[in-house]
Amino acid sequence: MVDRDIRVTPPDDNESGESTVDETQSANSPPTQPERGYILPLIYIFLVAIVLADVFYIVTQGPEIGIMRPARETLRSIGSAQLAYQGSNNNKYYGTLEALQSTGDLPAGTTHTTIIKYYSLSWEILCPPYPMYGGTIVSCGIAANFFTIIAWPDRQRIILTDLKTFAITEDQVLRQFEATHGNKLNAVSTWDRVIEP
């Protein structure tokens, strides 16, 4: 759009008595209105920047906040539930998922594959009973009780990110498997401790 200077000539200078309009273009005069053509592209650039920032956040922080942190918190809750269950039964056993659900220590209706989103649990409880006086099975006691619960990432359900494998045992230490740190997959005690507030 080009600005124009408009000059109106009074009727007394004109022979016909009509006012005339003289339009001359002024290339050097500053614009009186902003050009509207550049506003729309700026809006588009702003919206694209917001979308890209969201995508960057989801790719970099989303798995940590939305998936792995709840997995760690759930494993800690399961560890606490195991202590509560052990303290409430006479044999001092740790419990299965179903046993912890029956006492209300874990939510009912969940399974090994649904209790933690995008993870599946392996649940191992060891309490080697020993025969005493004619084959009677007695409690193995607290010292002989062990449990290992491992949260394995479900690679079929989420493939866009690298989820960590976590585990908790009777010592209530949450661990994470890191192959590059020399961890042995079949020995949870070699896994790295998860340190977070």
Q: 83 lies in a domain?
A: yes
Q: 117 lies in a domain?
A: yes
Distance of CA 187 to the CA centre of its chain: 27
- Structure tokens belonging to residue 36: 């509207």
Residue 76 has pLDDT above 90, yes or no: yes
Residue 144 has pLDDT above 60, yes or no: yes
When mean pLDDT is compared over 13-17, 50-54, 105-109, the highest value belongs to: 105-109
Interatomic CA distance for residues 140 and 34, integer angstroms: 85
Interatomic CA distance for residues 169 and 147, integer angstroms: 5
Domain ranges, residue 172: 67-193
Residue 154 has pLDDT above 50, yes or no: yes
Domain count across the chain: 1
pLDDT tens profile 115-135: 998 899 999 888 655 444 444
When comparing pLDDT for 61 and 92, which is higher?
92
pTM score: 0.62
Distance of CA 138 to the CA centre of its chain: 45
Q: 28 lies in a domain?
A: no
Q: 91 lies in a domain?
A: yes
Q: 139 lies in a domain?
A: yes
Q: 135 lies in a domain?
A: yes
Q: 31 lies in a domain?
A: no
Interatomic CA distance for residues 100 and 139, integer angstroms: 19
Q: 32 lies in a domain?
A: no
